[in-house]
Amino acid sequence: MVKFFNNKQKNNSIEELELDMENIPKHIAIIMDGNGRWAKERKLPRTMGHRAGMAAIKKVLKECNSLGVRYLTLYAFSTENWKRPKDEVNALMKLLVEFLRKEINELHEENVRISIIGDITKTPDFCQEEIAMALDKTKDNTGIVLNVAFNYGGRDEIIRSIKKVMEDYKEGKITLEEFNEKSFENYLDTKGMPDPDMIIRPSGEQRISNYLLWQCAYSEFWYSNINWPDFDGEALKKAISDYQNRDRRFGGVK
């Protein structure tokens, strides 16, 4: 088994890129795009591309942990992905379960906390059961948070959050006067997490695809022509290097 973490290995490429270790993004979100293209280029089934993408998760998670990133959010399955062929949808459900079963012990040993955003109540029972076990096993871990967006859509998240707000309003738990952006964030799937500093999309596409619509208000976007299965730690460091050379003003003036 390929190890996620190998503390004995030295990483000199960080120095080569001259990354500012005081300016590492706390939260990186990635749209894992290009699995199908990767497979097509090799005349393989699309499902093989998704399987190859699992290996990329390991590489990127390892690099994020090494650099001190606190949250890594991965777009694994969107609310729109149900439109794909049934065989591909079933394969994606099984791949998540396979990933968790194979890697959860090592992730737990390395203090990784698993988190899920999205409406998993609409996924098969075997998915929900495996997710529940992973969440429970790692719930007390204090290391990097691996946040998996599964059956997730930004619009769906906002609608679900609004419904929760309406329920609390009817029960008198909140008032219109005290309700604001900060209080609304407590109803989102990402409650307690900082907004992503940077959103990465490989594969050459340049759109947000209904991803973290509320949270991405001031995220830096970084695009790459690399398909997700070929994305690795070096590509991540290039993205962070570019991020560190941007002037983030959040609507103000420096």
- Reported as a pLDDT band with limits 50, 70 and 90, residue 2 is very low
Cα distance between residue 44 and residue 35, in whole Å: 11
Task: Check if the beta carbon of residue 191 is closer than 8 Å to that of residue 164.
Answer: no
Structural element, H or E, at residue 55:
helix 46-67
What is d(CA 66, CA 84) in angstroms, rounded to the nearest whole number? 35
Band the pLDDT of 5: cuts 50, 70, 90.
Answer: low
* 6 is annotated as an active-site residue: no
Q: How many CB atoms lie within 10 A of CB 98?
A: 14
Nearest to 154 by CA among 31, 246, 7: 31
Write out pLDDT tens, residues 215-233: 999 999 999 999 999 999 9
pLDDT of residue 251: 75
Q: Which two tokens stand for residue 221?
A: 């976007």
Residue 195 has pLDDT above 70, yes or no: yes
- pLDDT given for residue 45 in this prediction: 93
The pLDDT value given to residue 8:
43
Mean pLDDT score across all residues of the chain: 92
Q: What is the pLDDT of residues 74-112, one digit of tens each?
A: 999 999 999 999 999 999 999 999 999 999 999 999 999
Which candidate in 7, 11, 81, 119 is catalytic? 81
- Rg of the chain (C-alpha set): 19
Cβ neighbour number for residue 210 with a 10 Å cutoff: 16
pLDDT tens digit sequence for 228-254? 999 999 999 999 999 999 987 777 776
CA distance 201 to 64: 16
Q: Is 202 within 8 Å of 226 (Cβ atoms)?
A: yes
- What's the confidence (pLDDT) of residue 11? 47
pLDDT of residue 18: 84
Q: What is the pLDDT of residues 13-28, one digit of tens each?
A: 444 678 999 999 999 9
String of b and e for 104-132 (b: at least 16 CB within 10 Å)? beebbebebbbbbbbbbeebeeebeebbe
Q: Would you say residue 162 has pLDDT above 80? A: yes
Does the pLDDT of residue 10 top 80, yes or no? no
pLDDT tens-digit map of 45-63: 999 999 999 999 999 999 9
Residue 12's pLDDT is 44
User: Catalytic: which of 33, 156, 197, 230?
Assistant: 33
| Cβ-contact 24, 240 below 8 angstroms | yes
Dihedral (Cα; 217, 218, 222, 227), 10-degree rounding:
-30
What are the structure tokens assigned to 110, written together?
């390395």
Q: Coil, strand, or helix at residue 193?
A: coil
Mean pLDDT throughout 143-149?
Answer: 98
Report the percentage of the chain scoring pLDDT > 70: 93
Determine the pLDDT at residue 16: 62
d(Cα 141, Cα 145) in Å, to the nearest integer?
Answer: 9
Q: What is the pLDDT of residue 234?
A: 95
Cβ neighbours of residue 44 under 8 Å, at least 6 residues apart? none
- At residue 1 the predicted structure's pLDDT band, cuts being 50, 70 and 90, is very low
Length of the chain: 254
169: Cα separation from own chain's centroid: 31
Annotated catalytic, 230?
no
